[in-house]
Amino acid sequence: MSMRDEEQIQLLHPEGKQGARILKRRYEAIRKAILDEVEASGEISFLDLTERAPKRLSHFDGKTTWYITAVKLDLEARGELERFERNGRQQIRRT
């Protein structure tokens, strides 16, 4: 099966902007890595998330920071994550 034939998912954006369409397998891998890091920390800064989450991914064929950002925004739009600010830094936690 080619990438063109693989199932894709439409990403949502918390501000209602048009999100990208990405391969569902990539979405699931990034989603799991993000949620695992948030669960392990309770809450985590976005900077720490972009440093730690890629370590949970094996053989990922893409720009991990872009995918982490896009899927994090999708999870916010779906109500799974909440973004807030502390000391001028973006923090993330489960809702």
What's the average model confidence in pLDDT over 57-66? 85
| pLDDT tens-digit series, residues 10-41 | 999 999 999 999 999 999 999 999 999 999 99
pTM: 0.91
- Domains, in order of start, for the chain: 8-94 (1.10.10.10)
- Confidence band of 2 (pLDDT split at 50, 70, 90): low
CA angle 76, 81, 82 (to 5 degrees): 85
Contact 81, 62 (CB under 8 A): no
